[in-house]
Chain A
Amino acid sequence: MTVVLLTKATRVATLLSGRKRAKWPSSSFLRRLLRNRSATFGGAVLIAAALAAVFAGAIFDADPLDMVGRPYTWPFTDRLHPLGTDMLGRDILVGLVYAARVSLAIGFAAAALSTILGVSLGVLAGYFGGWTDGLISRLTEVFQTMPPLILAVVVVTVLSPSVGSIACGIGIASWPQIARIVRAETLRLRDSEFVQAAVSVGEGHLRIVAGHILPNALPQIVVTGSILVASAILTEAALAFLGLGDPNEISWGSMIGAGREAMRTAWYMTALPGLAITAVVLSLNLLADGLNDVLNPRAGNV
């Protein structure tokens, strides 16, 4: 009871003191995030992978598709090629680092696309309600009904495989999840007192959405977005493994697909890229967990 009264009181206080600030405190946010062990670990691995991907050209001046050593060199047997070479004598470590570029780029681009689609449609549906909501909810349902990977396969096949079309296919297949979350958040926020206050002061729709609803929905969007990056990386790997990767680029999934042919004798060619995917996806999930703990402290952990 007292808790309810207290929160009521603070809410009234924030209302009186002006507009409610979004819970996005910058310095204390970073400090709390750093104190969260899983977030720190995930973030560190991710930053390392991103740096390696960005500076791949500076670290290794070799082309990842060049034949540089004796084929079928096992990892940890040749100091020149620490992770060994594949069946064509290409260095696996160089390949892994260059592949990180494509896998991470597609992961982030696809997640950005589905976040933009999902947030705009979700906000529109939740904020305006009525027939807009009905139409968008129906559209969301349609896209949620199609199995995501099969939809992505169709889009990539129709547009022919390239980095852009793969990101597009994954983005189109995965926006419904974030749209539903943002719609629910918007519905909740639309009826809150500070939005009502903004309406009564006569603020326009755009200002209310951009100034009040989006900042307060941001924690949810950030957490869902980082999970989307993880699942986009997994989907990209599956597409590349199925042979729908960009033929001019090397990615972790295509390395697994190539290594599969020599799996019976040289399983390390398949194992290593898979470990790279697991490490990056795992760290993204841990980062999302940590962000969720810090940004949505009252939400349950599901």
Chain B
Amino acid sequence: MSKPPPVAGTSRALRYLGLRCLQAVPTVIAIAVLNFFFLRLAPGDLVDTMAGEAGAATPEYMAMLRQLYGLDQPVWTQFLHYLSRLAHLDLGYSFRNSTTVLDLILSRLPNTALLMLSSLAVALVGGVALGTIGARWRGRWPDALISAISTVGFATPLFWIGLMLIVLFSVHLRWLPAGGMTDVEAGRTGLPYLLDVARHLVLPVFSLAVFYVAIYARMTRSAVLEVRDLDFVRTARAKGLAPRKVMARHVLRNALLPIVTMTGLQFGTLLSGSVVIETVFAWPGMGRLAFDAVFQRDLNLLLGVLLFSSCLVVVSNLCTDLLYSVLDPRIEVR
């Protein structure tokens, strides 16, 4: 990062935040343009779909509908309309679900966030722990075992792990529920409800986390091996710090930097993974919404999910940058 002026404080961080938000605007607009392009590329327009729904429609009625929705206007006018609607956070209307796309997405967002953040937490804790163990016993059997497991975990389809976990833990052992988010019939409230959600959360979170545990374990191992021979670590050891403290404060803190970068870069992939996992476990999140949209031929909804999830990625990249400067004060926000 470039040299910052020596004025400290939150005002600079805020200005940086504002600047980054401004920089994100062209990206979001470009994605909106692409969305519009996809919408026009698809065979049949909205009115065709609606007419198909209704079973039959006269050409006059269809022409009237086209006029009503502005589909008879030139492409440019339609595009400007589209952009101005987006600027008002109007992602369109889902005729299938008779509600606005934004409402649908927002109602599913907390469930997806719960799934993704829990998986990320499990992956971070598990990956960093395994990677540290691997580095600590480099070349011996724990290291070999961990790297073998992570190599396989890296190559296995997430959704297949999910299905196999269902076979084992739900069908044969009957320990955990196979899908959904709660037992609807039980009608629990309060703490029992939360525990019920937690029980439903275990398998999806674990299936989604496996891939990331594998990545984080590999990265932590190599980062720890790289950092632990540096001068400042030797100094910390020489001044008599306990090995555990050296590991936690000096080695791991520095080794975490590449992991934070990776998490920011992988956020879109994590969202993608959650689409498939939500489908496997009937988890009522955004991914499941996208899946249903494909089968209902609800392109408006599908594109809304694409645009909204891209905005989530933009926000997460911003958070990554901020977290970076917290972890390493030498990297200052511009």
Q: Give the interface of A toward B (CB within 8 A).
A: 138-139, 141-142, 144-151, 153-155, 157-160, 230, 234, 237-238, 241-244, 253, 256, 260, 263-264, 267, 270-271, 274, 277-278, 281-282, 284-286, 300-302
Are A256 and B27 in contact, with the CB atoms below 8 A? Answer: no
CB-CB under 8 A for A267 and B167, given A138-B27, A150-B305: yes
Taken together as a complex, chains A and B put the C-alpha atoms of A145 and B156 apart, in Å, by 24
Q: Give the interface of B toward A (CB within 8 A).
A: 26-27, 30-31, 34, 38, 41-43, 151-152, 154-160, 163-164, 166-167, 171, 218-219, 222, 226, 258, 265, 268-269, 271-273, 275-276, 279, 290-291, 294-295, 299, 302-303, 305-306, 309-310, 313-314, 317
Are A270 and B163 in contact, with the CB atoms below 8 A? Answer: yes
Are B167 and A145 in contact, with the CB atoms below 8 A? Answer: no
Are A242 and B157 in contact, with the CB atoms below 8 A? Answer: no
Q: Look across to chain B and name the residue whose beta carbon is closest to the beta carbon of A253.
A: B157
Q: Look across to chain B and name the residue whose beta carbon is closest to the beta carbon of A277.
A: B157
Give the Cβ gap from B8 to chain A, nearest Cβ, in Å. Answer: 30
Q: Return chain A residues, CB-CB under 8 Å to B268.
A: 144-148
Taken together as a complex, chains A and B put the C-alpha atoms of A282 and B245 apart, in Å, by 37
Select which of A264, A270, A286 is within 8 A of B151 by beta carbon.
A286
CB-CB under 8 A for A270 and B41, given A145-B310, A150-B305: no
CB-CB under 8 A for A148 and B272, given A157-B299, A230-B155, A270-B167: yes
Q: Return chain A residues, CB-CB under 8 Å to B27.
A: 138, 141-142, 145
Taken together as a complex, chains A and B put the C-alpha atoms of A149 and B290 apart, in Å, by 11
Give the Cβ gap from B205 to chain A, nearest Cβ, in Å. Answer: 18
Give the Cβ gap from A138 to chain B, nearest Cβ, in Å. Answer: 7
Q: Return chain B residues, CB-CB under 8 Å to A155.
A: 38
CB-CB under 8 A for A154 and B303, given A263-B166, A274-B157, A301-B222: yes
Give the Cβ gap from A47 to chain B, nearest Cβ, in Å. Answer: 17
Are B38 and A154 in contact, with the CB atoms below 8 A? Answer: yes
Are A243 and B295 in contact, with the CB atoms below 8 A? Answer: yes
Of the listed residues A145, A234, A241, A285, the one surrounded by the most CB atoms of chain B closer than 10 A to its CB is A145
